[in-house]
Amino acid sequence: MTRWLQDNMPKIVLAPSFIAVMVFVYGFIAWTAWVSLTRSRLMPRYELDSFIQYERLADSPRFETAMVNLAIFGTLFIVIAMVLGLLLAILLDQKIRTEGAIRTIYLYPMALSMIVTGTAWKWILNPELGIEATVKGWGFANFEFNWLVDPDMAIYTVVLAAVWQSSGFVMALFLAGLRSVDEEIIKAAQVDGIPTWRVYSAIIIPSMAPIFLSAFIVLAHLAIKAFDLVIALTGGGPGYATDLPATYMYAMAFSRGDIGQAASSAMVMMLVVFTIVVPYLYSELRTKND
């Protein structure tokens, strides 16, 4: 091998991936951004026009529902998953004999496709034949649980299914974090006579701040992508009641043939992710680089 080839082999090996990322990630983002500024309909047009696509988004009641849903779903999902995950982690941290088995049980939903999750919960929450029917069968004749088909409540079924799927992961993260706290600090606290619950609230949990951040980032990311789950669980319905920007985008792109809207809604999603993820990545890379 010639000297030049030898010296530059690392760069040569990296080159294909580099080109791939530049084209298929950043190039594509640029394309979508460009198209979101045109009047594309069924086919993409490349003459830059104006912000009309974004104006149309702002005026669209369907997209407004989607964004509101994102806010509701996102907030509830993240908060509940974190709280539940933390609770489970603390419970599991108490020297349980069957810890391994229980952890496996809490975490397995993460291995499922969101389509499977959506399908399962769609059946469970089926108004006639699901939980409602079962509880009625137990004698509670007036029990109602038709959230799935109730336009006001449907979005909360998505929260339920998503929390079921992802809280195990949060638990795993937090459990690892709980266990990485310096033992000596805990012993010092106990010698000081501080009760267990206080040790958790005043010492352990605050020291886990970075992990809260990581969990938040991952959950936020999942929330923004939550396309599969909605499609399987509610199909975006009833009507548009559980629409999210992701389903809106898909509908515009492949059913409605409105590429301009698809591109602009995708860019809105991109922007939301950007504002959350970039500060986090920046701080991560600064500390990890050595």
Instruction: Identify residues 214-233 at the interface with another protein (CB under 8 A).
Output: 214-215, 217-218, 221, 224-225, 227-228, 231-232
Match 């294909």 to its residue by tokens.
16
Q: Does residue 102 belong to the site contacting another protein (CB under 8 A)?
A: yes
Binding mask 193-212 for another protein (x = CB under 8 A): xxxx-------x-----xx-
Q: How far is the CB of 155 from another protein (least distance, A)?
A: 19
Q: How far is the CB of 246 from another protein (least distance, A)?
A: 6
Q: How far is the CB of 64 from another protein (least distance, A)?
A: 18
Q: How far is the CB of 185 from another protein (least distance, A)?
A: 10
CB 73 within 8 A of CB 158: yes
75 versus 190: smaller Cβ distance to another protein: 190
Distance CA 275, CA 73 (A): 18
Q: Does residue 241 belong to the site contacting another protein (CB under 8 A)?
A: no
Q: Does residue 17 belong to the site contacting another protein (CB under 8 A)?
A: yes
152 versus 192: smaller Cβ distance to another protein: 192
- Of the candidate residues 172, 205, 242, 258, the single one contacting another protein (CB under 8 A): 172
Count, residues near another protein per rule CB under 8 A: 118
From the list 65-73, 74-82, 89-97, 146-154, the region that binds another protein by CB under 8 A is 89-97
Backbone φ and ψ for 8, nearest 5 degrees, come out as -100, 5
Q: Does residue 42 belong to the site contacting another protein (CB under 8 A)?
A: no
- Of the candidate residues 168, 205, 240, 251, the single one contacting another protein (CB under 8 A): 168
| Two tokens, residue 164 | 């079921």
- Of the candidate residues 52, 79, 116, 153, the single one contacting another protein (CB under 8 A): 116
Cβ atoms < 10 Å from Cβ of 37: 20
Q: Does residue 269 belong to the site contacting another protein (CB under 8 A)?
A: yes
Q: How far is the CB of 200 from another protein (least distance, A)?
A: 9
Q: Does residue 109 belong to the site contacting another protein (CB under 8 A)?
A: yes
CA atoms within 13 A on the CB side of 172: 16
- Of the candidate residues 63, 73, 77, 169, the single one contacting another protein (CB under 8 A): 169
54-83 residues in contact with another protein (CB under 8 A) are: none
- Of the candidate residues 55, 108, 209, 257, the single one contacting another protein (CB under 8 A): 108
Q: Does residue 249 belong to the site contacting another protein (CB under 8 A)?
A: yes
